[in-house]
Structure 1
Amino acid sequence: MLFDKRPVLLTGFAACLLGLLTSCANSSTGEALERSFAADPKLRNNSTTLGGSSQGNSPSQTTAKLPEGFPSEIPLYPEATLENVEPLTVPNAQGEQTSWSSADPIDAIQSFYKREFESNNWQITSQPTDEAGGTFVARRNGLQVTVTIPSSAATNNSGETSSAREPSTSGTSNAVTEFEIQYIRNQGEAASEQSGQDSSQSEVPSYVPSRSAGEAQDFTDLDKAPKELRQYIEDLATLGVLTVDSSGSKTNAGASGTTFEPNKTITRREYARWLVAANNQIYANRPGQQIRSASETTQPAFRDVPRSDRDFQSIQALAEAGLIPSPLTGDATAVLFRPDAPLTRENLILWKVPLDTRQSLPSASVDAVKQTWGFQDAAKVEPKALRAVLADFQNGESANIRRMLGYTTLFQPKKPVTRAEAASVLWYFGSQGEGLSAKEAQQLKREDAQPSETPTPSPSSSDEQ
């Protein structure tokens, strides 16, 4: 009977292998062998199987939504996506913590919140000391907001975070900046501050337009405007486009004029009002080019612009025409308009150019804008506005940016716009030589106002006899 040697050989091989692993347990050779037998981390982290779906991928398939009670006065970064919302349990207060992500760099997000808090009367109690990220703590009307932006040291090249509790950025080329916004509203303090505001505001008249749209305006301080932009303001004022708030500008005693304050930063609500008025006055004889006012009964597009808002019709009209980002255009993050926030240069162009071209904006890239405009800071322009900036270049000498800034190699997209600069942009509507200026609209208006001369009939031959 032959003896089968295979079991003996297998047993001997296993014993040798066990001895080798034991002897190399604490050596580099042993670690290499251990890694060679370890499971592929890509396969281990991917739980998707044939015929089923991965539970780990489910968060990317759902979009978080801001709760109904989220304060509208909290500034939201336009290019951020809401990832998560968690309620905070705070005695005698209301609060929530929201998590956000954006493809924009840390310094862009930090600059946005610094500008928003400073320009909207927030009391900043803490802020980052440099541009590498940090934490903002701001208070207003009993509302405390904490914005935590990651520091540059939060991630290294391997993608490891310095703290699991800190928001972080990805170490890959497709880096995503994650940050958190936490708010706490003290109900008692808010009521006290609000009552104090109400008593002080009762002495100041609420918004009253100095002139109605279409009625010529007489501004007494246009000598303070840059001389290159002065004529644009005068032409638009003649059309009655530049309605200003009586509560926000000074009326000259003993005179019929009002100050325009040309170097004052224009708000988003003012620009929306002027944009609709300028377009409709310049195209007064072309109903098909006009922006139709929104109905007073329509559902508001923005949570912070109710039907009772003084500029609801203008802002809502722009939203319904698809000229500004809103939930109506499919932008789920644009739930707030922030009407009293400063208007930035990139939004000025983003809202205006579609009314020049009257067609879809072209695709654009940072390199394309650099090659055409030569802007050194083209990478700082948000992707939506980048398309409008490129389309504006195609308008040649009639480009809005040229009319507003002249020659420049810096666009400074986040810089607030002055009233004079906004007027220069609104002076002309059209593209590639086909359009109308405010001066031309004045001439057409005068021609329409003049009564046509009725020819005197010549006497007939029978009358002469």
Structure 2
Amino acid sequence: MLLHKRLAIRVGLIGCLLISLSACANSANREALERSLAADPKLKENPITLGTPASNNPQNDKLAGFPAEIPIYSDAQVQEVRPATPDSGQGQTARFTTDAPSNSVLSFYQQQFQSNNWDLVSESETGGIENTLVARQNNLQVTVSVQSVSGTSNPTPTPTQSAVGNNSDIATEFTISYSRDASVATIPQGSNLKDIFTQPASENPAPSTSSSVFTDINKAPQELRQYVEDLAALGVLTQESVGSKNNPTASGQFEPNKTITRRQFARWLVAVNNQIHANNPGKQIRLASDSAQPAFQDIPRNNPDFSAIQGLAESGLIPSRLTGDATAVLFRPDAPLTRENLILWKVPLDTRSSLPTASVDAVKQTWGFQDAGKTEPKALRAVLADFQNGDLANIRRVFGYTTLFQPKKPVTRAEAAAALWYFGAEGEGISAQDALQSQRQQSQPSPTPLSSPNQQ
């Protein structure tokens, strides 16, 4: 009897439920109920698969070969990654775009390099449009070139970019190139204008290895080749550029027999001197500040080599109005460097003292130059001082034995490298090879001392 009552109650409840559902079958309540129970359409578009790792960021995939220590601007998009030197396949140059203003990108890299103990090798600006930073840390050298591009279409914005940036008609394009000194590299390739370059160094590296940077060192005269190789291994020589003025790219060529300009040699002179005397700040040439009053009318503050050329002028190493030379109002940066220029600029960094008084007869008696009279009086003093450096004299190292100085003859890039290979007086100087050896020793980890049996 009790069982029949329970069954009757259940049947009654089911009947009431069916009547209620039937009553709202065509009502808005039905649609609301269906929507509340339906699956989320977003899950259909973006299904979640549990236990499956997220796909790699395409931006990170493109930069897989970059060393981890190179900072990457967070809002930048990678447009292209290519080998820094196409022939060797070693190193990379990456091109980025961002909606952020160029000064923000530049400030980011300045701050990153300074806060992470990078050495800022050079910093230059061209007309307020393009800025270049070159920084070095151990055997890794990074070149960052930042340029504002007007009237270009902005790339597809990332989710983190602002609406203001998306609507702007000003985009920033910048490139990062990196290089490694093959003779002192201690970590594999793949981690900065050059690799960003090299295979892991062996336990006993060669005295110098420059093939990873330049592909035409073998075109240098045999007697000058080793000097070029040593300086290239130090990472202080610049490659010849190809392409337009506004978009130059490293060619991978040193062009040893090409004439060097006054601007190029000034840049090398500062870079090599400061690298060779890296452990002696008192012998380094200070780069000029952007606020300095230009010493030359044709080298304004926005000139890419202003800091180096102005620094040489302010230190009195090259003739200018600062040294009391009223005729030296122009630097002529793109004019060929002559032999007398080379000796006049370089020898004071060897002697580190006042140049001696000199005459044409004194130079003829020491060097035996038949054309000594064709040399400028200021350069005669440096030529005579160079003779006092014996076998380490620049003239002997660069030009060999000669009775003709040919003071107005242009200097080649290989000859300039040979002159810069050694700084100092005989017995007290330092060569590029010495600097390389010092770099190797600093890059090698200190051996762990072994405990003796008595210390157990």
TM-score, normalising length: structure 2:
0.52
How many Å separate the matches in 1 of 2:236 and 2:243? 17
Corresponding residue number in structure 2 for 1:417: 411
What SS class does the counterpart of residue 434 from structure 2 fall into?
A: helix
Corresponding residue number in structure 2 for 1:235: 230
How many Å separate the matches in 1 of 2:421 and 2:295? 28
For residues 8-61 of structure 1, the C-alpha deviation after alignment (integer angstroms, 9 at most, x for no partner) is xxxxxxxxxxxxxxxxxxxxxxxxxxxxxxxxxxxxxxxxxxxxxxxxxxxxxx
Task: Return the letter of the residue paired with 1:268.
Answer: R
How many Å separate the matches in 1 of 2:256 and 2:413? 5
Equivalent position to 2:282, from 288, 300, 316? 288
Question: Does the Cα contact within 8 Å between 1:220 and 1:257 map onto a contact in 2?
Answer: no
* Alpha-carbon distance, 1:330 to partner: 1.0
Corresponding residue number in structure 1 for 2:353: 359
Task: Return the letter of the residue paired with 2:349.
Answer: L
Task: Return the letter of the residue paired with 1:286.
Answer: N
How many Å separate the matches in 1 of 2:175 and 2:362? 43
User: Residues 330 and 222 of structure 1: is their aligned pair in 2 closer, same or farther, counting only changes over 3 Å?
Assistant: same
* Alpha-carbon distance, 1:386 to partner: 0.2
Residue 384 (1) aligns with residue 378 (2): yes
Residue 328 (1) aligns with residue 289 (2): no
Corresponding residue number in structure 2 for 1:218: 213
User: Residues 280 and 362 of structure 1: is their aligned pair in 2 closer, same or farther, counting only changes over 3 Å?
Assistant: same
Greater Rg over alpha carbons, structure: 2
For residues 192-213 of structure 1, the C-alpha deviation after alignment (integer angstroms, 9 at most, x for no partner) is xxxxxxxxxxxxx999999659
Corresponding residue number in structure 1 for 2:256: 262
For residues 164-193 of structure 1, the C-alpha deviation after alignment (integer angstroms, 9 at most, x for no partner) is xxxxxxxxxxxxxxxxxxxxxxxxxxxxxx
For residues 444-464 of structure 1, the C-alpha deviation after alignment (integer angstroms, 9 at most, x for no partner) is 111111121242455777xx6
How many Å separate the matches in 2 of 1:332 and 1:391? 25
Corresponding residue number in structure 2 for 1:440: 434
Unaligned runs of at least 5 residues, structure 1: 1-204, 250-255
Question: Does the Cα contact within 8 Å between 2:358 and 2:381 map onto a contact in 1?
Answer: yes
User: Residues 391 and 248 of structure 1: is their aligned pair in 2 closer, same or farther, counting only changes over 3 Å?
Assistant: farther
Residue 348 (1) aligns with residue 352 (2): no
User: Residues 414 and 241 of structure 1: is their aligned pair in 2 closer, same or farther, counting only changes over 3 Å?
Assistant: same
What SS class does the counterpart of residue 382 from structure 2 fall into?
A: helix
Aligned residues: 252
Residue 274 (1) aligns with residue 268 (2): yes
* Alpha-carbon distance, 1:259 to partner: 1.0
Equivalent position to 1:450, from 417, 420, 444? 444
Question: Does the Cα contact within 8 Å between 1:210 and 1:246 map onto a contact in 2?
Answer: no
How many Å separate the matches in 2 of 1:440 and 1:345? 26
TM-score, normalising length: structure 1:
0.51
Corresponding residue number in structure 1 for 2:399: 405
Identity rate of aligned residues, in percent? 71
How many Å separate the matches in 1 of 2:406 and 2:175? 31
Task: Return the letter of the residue paired with 1:271.
Answer: F
How many Å separate the matches in 1 of 2:315 and 2:353? 12
What SS class does the counterpart of residue 318 from structure 2 fall into?
A: coil
Q: Using CA pairs under 8 Å that are at least 6 residues apart, name the structure with larger relative contact order, 1 or 2.
A: 2
Equivalent position to 2:292, from 293, 298, 322? 298
How many Å separate the matches in 1 of 2:403 and 2:234? 33
Question: Does the Cα contact within 8 Å between 1:380 and 1:413 map onto a contact in 2?
Answer: yes
For residues 214-240 of structure 1, the C-alpha deviation after alignment (integer angstroms, 9 at most, x for no partner) is 997611111211100000000000001
Decide which moves more: 289-298 or 437-446: 289-298
* Alpha-carbon distance, 1:309 to partner: 0.8
Task: Return the letter of the residue paired with 1:393.
Answer: F
User: Residues 209 and 353 of structure 1: is their aligned pair in 2 closer, same or farther, counting only changes over 3 Å?
Assistant: farther
Residue 429 (1) aligns with residue 423 (2): yes
What SS class does the counterpart of residue 242 from structure 2 fall into?
A: coil
What SS class does the counterpart of residue 434 from structure 1 fall into?
A: coil
What SS class does the counterpart of residue 297 from structure 2 fall into?
A: coil
What SS class does the counterpart of residue 301 from structure 1 fall into?
A: coil
How many Å separate the matches in 2 of 1:398 and 1:229? 14
User: Residues 453 and 416 of structure 1: is their aligned pair in 2 closer, same or farther, counting only changes over 3 Å?
Assistant: same
How many Å separate the matches in 2 of 1:321 and 1:247? 33
| Stretches of 4+ aligned residues off by more than 3 angstroms | 205-217, 456-461
Task: Return the letter of the residue paired with 1:229.
Answer: L
Task: Return the letter of the residue paired with 2:402.
Answer: T
